[in-house]
Amino acid sequence: MTSTEITTDEVEGDNDRYHRELYNAIQDDDFQRLKDILHELDQCKESTTKKEVLNRGYQEQDGLTALNIAAGKKHKAVTEILAACPDVEVNKASLSGVTPLLMVAEVGWSDILDILLERGAVVDSAPSGKQAEDNKLAGSTPLIGATKYNHPECVKRLLEHHANPNHQNQSGTSALMIAAEHGYFECVKLLVEAGRIT
């Protein structure tokens, strides 16, 4: 083997190292380190390395991807760069079914929501399965998440992308029911109007 040949074990070791470094950069909200890691991954000879590192879930974090963790930590600049990265799978769900779109809708970043929607994020994706049920997430679409945390601009944009305003989660609760119960009048107005159109 020549010095320029890379073994599978070396690639996997590098992937693990980059995966850990990516996690640390996200936890620390280190935008510059994230950019450096992405640049280093672009220089790797293995074409799948960057995609694999960016989309591998962190087992100790419910299998959340880097994008989900950044959004959940409310590290906006880091989330934005990851959302715009073409190697990031925008529909990759955690073990309990949480997608980046659901996480961003709950945080309320309409501009990043737009990036994910433009990249093909599934607007009505909803967690399902035992873990989602145990965490009371089953059936909660991004529209329900945006409504639950009173983010009317996200509600509006999701509805513009044809989110189902009548969808109900595992408890039989719709976004409109949540908005009405909590007095989120702007969300109520948007959801009622969307319900008339569908």
Greater pLDDT, 99 or 3: 99
Provide the residue ranges of all domains of the chain, joining segments of one domain with +: 1-88, 91-198
Look at residue 138 and tell me whether its pLDDT is greater than 80: no
CATH class of 91-198: mainly alpha
| Cβ atoms of 158 and 143 closer than 8 Å | yes
Determine the distance from the C-alpha atom of residue 192 to the mean position of all C-alpha atoms in its chain, rounded to a whole number. Answer: 27
**pLDDT at res. 1:** 41
User: pLDDT tier at 195 (50, 70, 90 boundaries)?
Assistant: confident
* Whole-angstrom Cα Rg for the chain: 19
When the pLDDT of each residue in the chain is averaged and rounded to a whole number, the result is 88
Any idea which residue has 């107005």 for tokens? 189
Q: Tell me which range, 6-10, 74-78, 149-153, is most confidently predicted by mean pLDDT.
A: 149-153
Letter string b/e over residues 147-184, b meaning 16 or more CB atoms within 10 A of that residue's CB: bbebbbebbbbbbebebbbebbbeeebbbbbbbbeeeb
**pLDDT at res. 135:** 65
Look at residue 9 and tell me whether its pLDDT is greater than 60: no
Length of the chain: 198
Any idea which residue has 């309409």 for tokens? 110
Q: For residue range 20-59, what is the model confidence (pLDDT) as tens digits?
A: 999 999 999 999 999 999 999 999 877 668 999 999 999 8
Q: Is the dihedral of CA 66, 71, 75, 77 positive or negative?
A: positive
